Amino acid sequence: MPTYTFKRPDGTLLQRRLRFAEYELIRSGDFRVEEAGEPLELVFNPAGASFVLKDGPSGGWMSKANKESGYRAARGSEMARREKDHVFKSRLVPNYKGQEAESWKEAREEARKESGLAAASTYDPHVRKETSGR
């Protein structure tokens, strides 16, 4: 049952739990909530909205979220396997200014000759990978 905020005739606020049917009757004017013989006025209080989600016969929000998370995890690993098996992986070709070279080491030497050590140092990671055999 949701909790609604009411205002007493003296201006103080209180909260009451009502069934949805009672709330609809209050909104239509067919039902009055009273305290000590005095009518209470229903007020709009968006900060006072509260409810509890419970598991039902088909499962609740948490069980459905857990199912979805499990499905997504399994699907992610399956798609990673498919990508590995079927997607072309391009590799970098050793080059300097668009001219192919035999190796990254050779491309680095061309860069050093034409542009200096600063340009040649950008090739160092590729040369390290090439010499380490990865």
Lowest-confidence segment of 43-47, 107-111, 128-132 by average pLDDT: 43-47
Pairwise CA distance, residues 122 & 134, whole Å: 18
Condensed to tens digits (0 to 9), the pLDDT of residues 29-39 reads 777 777 888 87
Beta-carbon contacts of 2 under 8 Å, excluding residues fewer than 6 positions away, are 17, 18, 20, 23, 49, 50, 51
pLDDT of residue 52: 66
Query: Are residues 16 and 41 both part of a single domain?
Result: yes
pLDDT confidence bin for 60, thresholds 50/70/90: low
Query: Are residues 104 and 124 both part of a single domain?
Result: yes
Total domains in the fold of the chain: 3
Query: Are residues 104 and 84 both part of a single domain?
Result: no
Q: DSSP assignment of 36-89, as one string? A: TTEE-EEE--GGG--------TT--HHHHHHHHHHHHHHHHHHHHHHHHHHS--
**Rounded percentage of the chain residues whose pLDDT exceeds 90:** 29
Query: Are residues 44 and 62 both part of a single domain?
Result: no
Query: Are residues 126 and 105 both part of a single domain?
Result: yes
Q: How far is CA 131 from the centre of its chain?
A: 41
Pairwise CA distance, residues 105 & 45, whole Å: 71
Query: Are residues 77 and 114 both part of a single domain?
Result: no
Condensed to tens digits (0 to 9), the pLDDT of residues 66-96 reads 888 999 999 999 999 999 999 888 888 899 8
Query: Are residues 99 and 83 both part of a single domain?
Result: no
Query: Are residues 8 and 43 both part of a single domain?
Result: yes
Single pTM value for the model: 0.35
Query: Are residues 106 and 123 both part of a single domain?
Result: yes
Domain that holds residue 77: 57-88
**41-43 and 13-17: which strand pairing?**
unpaired
Query: Are residues 74 and 111 both part of a single domain?
Result: no
